[in-house]
Amino acid sequence: MLTIPKNKWLLFGLLLTLVMGSNVLVYHAEWAGSPPPGMVLGSLFDFIITVPLLVYIFIIRKRYSLKYVLPVMIAGYGAAGLIIPKIYLSGFSFVKYILFAGEGAFLVVELYVIFKLLVKVPAIIRSYRTTEIAAATENLTFQHRMEQAWNQQMKPTRVRDIVFSEMTMVYYSLFSWRKKPISGERSFTYHKKTGAIALYIMLIHALVLESVGFHFLLHSWNPTVAIIALGLNIYTLLFFVAEIQAIRLCPMIITDTHLYLQVGFMKRLTVPLREIKSFHYYQGPEKLTKVEARHVFDATVADFMKEKPTFELEFVQPAEAKLLYGFKKRVMKAHLRLDEPQRFYTALSEKMNNMGNV
Q: Is 108 among the domain residues?
A: yes
Instruction: Determine which of 4-8, 133-137, 291-295, 310-314 has the lowest per-residue pLDDT on average.
Output: 133-137
Report if residue 315 sits inside a domain.
Answer: yes
Residue 272 φ then ψ, to 5°: -60, 140
Query: Is residue 301 assigned to a domain?
Result: yes
Alpha-carbon distance of 341 to 146, in angstroms, equals: 29
Does 174 lie in the same domain as 277? no
Q: In the chain, at which residue ranges do the beta strands (DSSP E only) sit?
A: 187-188, 252-254, 258-263, 267-272, 276-281, 296-299, 311-323, 328-336
pLDDT at 56: 79
Decide which of 156 and 250 is more confident. Answer: 250
% of the chain at pLDDT higher than 70: 84
Residue 135: pLDDT over 60: no
Compute the CA torsion angle 205, 210, 216, 222 (nearest 10 deg): -130
**If DSSP states are collapsed to H, E and C, what string results for 252-306?**
EEECCCEEEEEECCCEEEEEEHHHEEEEEECCCCCCCCHHHHCCEEEECCCCCCC
Average pLDDT over residues 206-226: 78
Task: State which of 76, 98, 116 marks the end of a domain.
Answer: 116
Residues 146, 256, single domain; the answer is no
In angstroms, the CA 13 to CA 122 distance is: 46
| Model pLDDT, residue 297 | 94
| Higher-scoring residue by pLDDT: 38, 124 | 124
Residues 224, 210 share a domain: yes
Residues 13-57 have pLDDT tens digits of 888 888 888 888 877 766 656 666 567 778 888 888 888 888 878
Domain termination residue (choose one: 181, 202, 220):
181
Please indicate, yes or no, if residue 1 is contained in any of the structural domains: no
Q: Do 65 and 165 belong to one domain?
A: no
Q: Are residues 213 and 343 in the same domain?
A: yes
SS3 63: coil
Tell me the mean pLDDT in the region 142-147.
85
Task: Please tell me which residue, 177 or 104, carries the higher pLDDT value.
Answer: 177
pLDDT band at 216 (very low <50, low <70, confident <90, very high): confident
Same domain, 174 and 231: no
> Among 151, 181, 211, where does a domain finish?
181
C-alpha 287: how far from chain center: 23
Residues 6+ apart with CB under 8 A from 297: 261, 267, 269, 319, 321, 329, 331, 333, 334, 335
Domain range for residue 316? 182-358
349 and 204 in a common domain:
yes
> Is residue 148 in a domain?
yes
**Res. 1 pLDDT band, cuts 50 70 90:** very low
Q: Are residues 64 and 164 in the same domain?
A: no
Same domain for 332 and 189: yes
Task: Give the pLDDT of residue 343.
Answer: 94
How many domains does the chain contain in total?
Answer: 3
Q: What is the pLDDT of residue 250?
A: 92
- Which residues 6+ apart lie within 8 Å of 213 measured at CB? none
Q: Rounded to the nearest 5 degrees, what angle is found at the Cα of 299, between the Cα atoms of 157 and 139?
A: 75
Q: What is the pLDDT of residue 238?
A: 93
Rounded Cα distance between 121 and 169, Å, is 17
Query: Does 35 map to a domain?
Result: yes
Q: Are residues 22 and 159 in the same domain?
A: no
- Are 177 and 187 members of one domain? no
3-state secondary structure of 340: coil
In a domain, 329, yes or no: yes
Residue 172: alpha-carbon gap to chain centroid: 15
Same domain, 203 and 347: yes
Whether residue 260 is contained in a domain is answered as yes
Mean pLDDT, to the nearest integer, of 92-105? 65
In this prediction, residue 93 has a pLDDT band, given cuts at 50, 70 and 90, of: low
Half-sphere exposure of 209 (CA within 13 A, CB side): 6
Q: Which of 31-35, 43-47, 108-112, 237-241 has the lowest mean pLDDT?
A: 31-35
Cα separation values, 69 from 30, 62, 64, 87, Å: 34, 13, 10, 28
SS3 category, 334:
strand
Residue 189 has pLDDT above 80, yes or no: yes
